[in-house]
Structures are given as structure tokens and as C-alpha cells.
């Protein structure tokens, strides 16, 4: 059975010797984040800090719990979904896509059966500062929650819309949410609720089961619910429970739920913060205010956080892993469903939200242009600047082969497209615009527009020319393993690091 709660997921990690528990007291003020940074950098175990200083409730912090191994980021999540061990990247994508093709409706459970209701505080009992929110990087604007699911209303589905927006804590019942227009929940706030001067109900849910966190990272088409895709992913229904103070539903097994409203025409400071680009980004901006009406939680909540910025380059953290292991399969399925001949769509491992690599056929002239524009105008609009298209038989999960394709096949004269055109929106988290260019636009995006580009690194050779004799390669790999070479890096062995299909 899939890990249907965050606790079960942590136990699974423990069983795999992939979790390290620290009983000694650790400070939320940079220390937990620093230890997690070391864990991320050394590809070490996931750290859980059982005792956090200056915390009034018995809560633990968990540093980057969804981070996977650097060589196989999907490994832990594959285990959480009970997929076979040792799957190659392509096999993992195929298995996840199969699950996503069969969405499952969630199941409503009684509040008495919902662990996230073990403790309920509403009204004046709400104390946001009782939670050990980490101060993650020196220079951050404040303490943050950045590994959670924001549940918002969706007029087209009963289960609401799930998405991810970092949240800066201000006092015992107020926080600011990074709402960037162009994304579904912020759009609803900026263009529906706020003009009506109506607060938008939301819930911020921490410590969800892996399927929920994964579907939060996916770009689910408008009108479809992340909750049903989470059910497909775990091959079983997600348990939901009604909120205490609004009409939203939240995952019942969560560790912690903040219920509240995003207030109209109210702003609080947000940022700077060291986000997924790997750099601190500023300047401090004004963002919508989240007023917390209720906190419901487990008795001793495990509070996950992500040391953003450590998932670039060689590093992995929760957000880079979730991009590779969740957003990638979802995007592949979405593009296939839209009629494109895409084999795989995968975030570039070294900066996962800025560049994507798409392995695809080219069935007709102009196809890549159509594909690029489809993505840039739908889910790739704000964050992604580049797409790299490679042949369908190039593995986008193997960055060496992608780099080779760029070097050998992408002609600067003919294969780099849409450069020099600064007409597109951009998140202000970027570091290539000056603070003046980013400005302080009312709806979050940078004041100055940017360019988007795609690189055609496909070849003109017929498909199937490269690759060599797979059986011969397999025998060579067996020979090497017999001689004592570690099997982990071989892609064709039954029990190697990758398993052939």
C-alpha cells in the first residue's frame, strides 16, 4: 500500500536507512536549515529534528523530506507509491503516467477520524508563532513555510485547487503569501475576489502524504482536481476532511492545517528569500495577507520545510526532486494528451524550474514552434524561460546526452528561437533583472517583461541510428559487475542502479 500519510512516509525512509533523527535540541533560527543543507549537499539521510528550541508545542522539523538521491531523485517517491525498486527514470515516468491516467475520487472522512484534527485552535486561540517555522537563509525577510499545499477555492471542482506559494510569517495570526498573477490561485484572488472586496478562503496544509505533495507540484488543467490525480498516483482515494472555518476540504492525514482568508486590498512585506534559482532574490515586496482563523494539527506535528536554493547544480532538495519526480511525468502526460508526440518532458536537473528538456518526434515542419508556444502560454509561462528539444531517443533524464545534443545539433544560426523578444511575463524571483526592472507590480510579476526561448537540439538523422547493440551492452555491464564494479550506475541490469524494462 502507498504511504498514505507523511508519518508513514517518514517510517518508510527510516526503514530504508534514509532518515536520521536528531534528539538534541536544535534552533529553528538557521541551524535546522544549515544541517539540512549539509544533508542535501552530501546526499545524506533526511534529517528530522525532534526537539526544536523555543517552541511552545511539541513539534518536530523535517528538512527536505522529499529529496531523493542525487543520482536517482525519484527513488524515495517510487517507494512511497509502491512502485518496483530500481526503476530507471524512464520506467518511473511510465509507471507514474499510468497511475495518472486513472484518477481516483477522494473520500470524505469524518473529522473524528482525521488525524489533522487531533488539536483544533480557532479564534483567539490561534497562535501561528507556536509552530517552529524555520528561518532558512541568512538574509531572508522572515521565517517561512515553503513546503506545503495551499488549498484554494475552485468554482469548477468540489475539492478545490491545490498549489504551492511560499508563506512568510508575520505574527500570531498573519502571514504574507507569494501570489504571482498567472497562476491559478493568485489569478482567482487578484481578478475575482479582490475586485469584489471579498476575502478568499484558503488552507495551508503541511506534512501531507507524498501523493498530495506531488500533485500540488503538478499543473492540473483548469476544471480538474489535483485531489483526484493524487488518488490516481497513490492508486487509492485521498482522504479529505472539511475545514473548521470555511467550506474547503483538506487532506485528513496532514500534520498541520492553517485555515484562513487572503484579505482583499491588504498587503504585507514578503521576501527577500533564497528561492529555487539558487540565489537570494529581492527586493522585499508587498504581497497579499493571509489571516489565519484556525490551526488544526496532529498532537506532535512533523513540520516539513525546504532549504530552497540547494536544489540547483549538483544538489537535490524537495522542490527539485518534486519537479523531476512529479511535475515531469505530469507534463509528459499533459503534452501527450494535447496531441504532441512527446516521449518525455523533464526538468533540467541543474535548475529545474527554469529549463525543461523535451524528447520528441518532429512529425511536421513548424511542430516545435507549436509545441513551444503551447507550453509557454499554458503551464510554462512564468517560471520557465527555456525549452530544449531533443530527439525522441535521447534520454532527457541523462543530462550528458542532452548536453551533447545541444553542443552538436543546436546551430546558433538556425536552432535558437524567439531570442531578443521581451514580451513575456516573468516571476520576480529571477536574478537577471535588476530590482528596478522587477519593480513592485500589483499582481506579483516583474514590471519588466522578459524573453522566452526554445532550442532545437534535435538531429536530422533518422530515429534509431544511435544506441548500439543493447544485448552486447548488457553483457559488458555484467562483465564489469562480475569484476567488482558497482552495479548502481548501469542501466541495463536487472538489479543495477537502473532496471531495464
Per CB under 8 A, contacts with other proteins among 447-486 are 450-453, 459, 468-469, 472-473, 475-477, 479-480, 482-486
**Is residue 433 within the footprint of other proteins (CB under 8 A)?**
yes
On the 0-12 / 13-18 / 19+ scale of CB atoms within 10 A, 415 is middle
Query: For other proteins, which stretch binds (CB under 8 A), given 36-44, 94-102, 142-150, 209-217?
Result: 36-44
In sequence order, what DSSP letters do the residues of 19-83 get, joined into one string? Answer: EEEEEEEE-TBTHHHHHHHHHHHTT-PEEEEEEETT-SS--EEEESTTPPPSS-TTHHHHHHTTP
**Is residue 278 within the footprint of other proteins (CB under 8 A)?**
yes
d(CA 451, CA 489): 38
Return the residues of window 50-89 that contact other proteins according to CB under 8 A: 70-71
Closest to other proteins by CB, 47 vs 160, is: 47
Give the HSE-up count for residue 375: Cα atoms under 13 Å, Cβ half-sphere. Answer: 31
Closest to other proteins by CB, 113 vs 485, is: 485
Eight-class DSSP state of 315: -
**Is residue 495 within the footprint of other proteins (CB under 8 A)?**
no
Helix orientation angle between 367-376 and 328-337, rounded to the nearest 10 degrees: 120
Site for other proteins (CB under 8 A): which residue of 75, 308, 330, 395? 308
Site for other proteins (CB under 8 A): which residue of 15, 247, 434, 495? 434
Return the residues of window 385-404 that contact other proteins according to CB under 8 A: 385-386, 399-401, 403-404
Question: Nearest distance from residue 354's CB to other proteins, in Å?
Answer: 5
Cα 203 to Cα 131, 160, 260: the distances in Å are: 16, 10, 6
**Is residue 381 within the footprint of other proteins (CB under 8 A)?**
no
Question: Nearest distance from residue 242's CB to other proteins, in Å?
Answer: 39
**Is residue 377 within the footprint of other proteins (CB under 8 A)?**
no
Helix orientation angle between 328-337 and 89-100, rounded to the nearest 10 degrees: 60
- Report how many residues bind other proteins under the rule CB under 8 A: 92
Query: For other proteins, which stretch binds (CB under 8 A), given 166-174, 204-212, 238-246, 305-313?
Result: 305-313
d(CA 315, CA 309): 9
Return the residues of window 279-298 that contact other proteins according to CB under 8 A: 279-282
Query: For other proteins, which stretch binds (CB under 8 A), given 85-93, 165-173, 367-375, 415-423?
Result: 415-423
Cβ(387)–Cβ(355) below 8 Å: yes
Site for other proteins (CB under 8 A): which residue of 15, 42, 171, 195? 42
Return the residues of window 333-352 that contact other proteins according to CB under 8 A: 348-351
In sequence order, what DSSP letters do the residues of 79-106 get, joined into one string? Answer: HHTTPPTTB-HHHHHHHHHHHHTS----
Question: Nearest distance from residue 420's CB to other proteins, in Å?
Answer: 5
Return the residues of window 226-265 that contact other proteins according to CB under 8 A: none
Site for other proteins (CB under 8 A): which residue of 9, 159, 190, 277? 277
Return the residues of window 147-176 that contact other proteins according to CB under 8 A: none
Eight-class DSSP state of 236: S
d(CA 488, CA 250): 39
Amino acid at each position: 500500500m502507498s504511504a498514505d500519510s507523511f508519518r508513514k512516509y517518514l517510517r518508510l525512509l527510516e526503514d530504508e536507512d534514509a532518515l536520521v533523527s536528531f534528539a538534541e535540541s536544535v534552533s529553528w533560527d538557521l541551524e535546522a536549515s544549515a544541517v539540512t543543507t549539509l544533508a542535501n549537499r552530501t546526499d545524506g539521510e533526511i534529517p528530522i529534528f525532534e526537539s526544536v528550541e523555543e517552541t511552545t508545542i511539541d513539534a518536530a522539523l523535517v528538512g527536505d523530506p522529499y529529496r531523493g538521491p542525487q543520482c536517482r531523485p525519484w527513488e524515495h517517491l517510487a517507494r512511497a507509491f509502491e512502485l518496483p525498486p530500481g526503476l530507471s527514470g524512464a520506467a518511473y515516468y511510465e509507471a507514474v503516467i499510468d497511475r495518472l491516467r486513472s484518477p481516483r475520487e477522494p473520500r470524505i472522512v469524518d473529522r473524528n477520524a482525521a488525524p489533522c484534527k487531533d488539536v483544533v485552535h480557532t479564534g483567539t486561540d490561534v497562535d501561528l508563532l507556536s509552530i517552529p517555522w524555520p528561518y532558512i537563509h541568512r538574509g531572508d525577510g522572515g521565517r517561512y513555510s515553503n513546503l506545503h499545499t495551499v488549498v484554494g477555492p475552485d468554482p469548477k471542482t468540489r475539492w478545490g485547487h491545490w498549489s504551492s506559494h511560499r508563506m512568510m510569517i508575520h505574527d500570531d495570526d498573519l502571514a504574507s503569501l507569494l501570489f504571482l498573477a498567472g497562476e491559478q490561485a493568485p489569478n482567482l484572488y487578484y481578478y475575482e475576489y479582490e475586485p469584489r472586496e471579498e476575502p478568499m478562503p484558503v488552507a495551508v496544509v503541511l506534512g501531507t502524504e507524498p501523493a498530495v505533495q506531488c500533485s500540488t507540484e503538478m499543473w492540473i488543467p483548469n476544471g480538474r482536481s489535483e485531489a483526484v490525480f493524487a488518488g490516481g498516483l497513490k492508486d487509492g482515494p485521498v482522504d479529505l476532511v472539511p475545514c473548521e472555518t470555511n467550506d474547503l476540504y483538506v487532506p485528513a492525514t496532514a500534520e498541520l492545517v492553517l485555515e484562513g482568508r487572503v484579505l482583499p486590498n491588504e498587503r504585507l512585506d514578503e521576501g527577500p528569500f533564497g528561492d529555487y534559482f539558487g540565489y537570494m532574490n529581492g527586493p522585499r515586496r508587498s504581497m497579499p495577507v493571509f489571516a489565519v482563523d484556525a490551526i488544526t494539527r496532529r498532537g506532535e506535528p512533523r513540520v516539513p520545510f525546504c532549504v530552497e536554493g540547494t536544489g540547483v547544480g549538483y544538489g537535490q532538495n524537495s522542490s527539485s526532486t518534486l519537479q523531476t519526480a512529479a511535475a515531469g511525468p505530469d507534463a509528459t502526460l499533459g503534452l501527450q494528451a494535447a496531441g504532441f508526440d512527446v516521449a518525455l518532458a523533464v526538468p533540467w536537473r541543474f535548475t529545474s524550474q527554469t529549463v525543461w528538456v523535451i524528447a520528441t518526434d518532429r512529425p511536421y515542419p513548424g511542430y516545435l514552434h507549436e509545441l513551444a508556444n503551447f507550453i509557454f502560454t499554458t503551464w510554462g509561462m512564468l517560471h520557465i524561460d527555456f525549452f530544449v528539444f531533443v530527439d525522441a531517443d535521447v534520454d532527457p533524464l541523462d543530462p550528458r546526452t542532452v548536453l551533447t545534443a545541444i553542443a552538436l545539433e543546436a546551430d546558433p544560426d538556425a536552432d535558437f528561437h524567439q531570442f531578443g523578444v521581451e514580451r513575456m511575463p516573468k516571476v520576480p524571483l529571477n536574478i537577471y533583472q535588476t530590482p528596478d526592472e522587477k519593480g513592485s507590480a500589483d499582481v506579483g510579476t516583474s514590471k519588466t517583461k522578459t524573453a522566452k526561448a526554445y532550442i532545437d537540439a534535435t538531429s536530422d538523422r533518422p530515429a534509431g541510428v544511435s544506441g548500439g547493440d543493447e544485448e552486447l551492452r548488457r553483457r559488458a555491464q555484467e562483465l564489469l559487475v562480475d569484476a567488482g564494479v558497482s552495479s548502481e550506475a548501469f542501466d541495463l541490469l536487472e538489479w543495477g542502479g537502473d532496471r531495464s524494462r
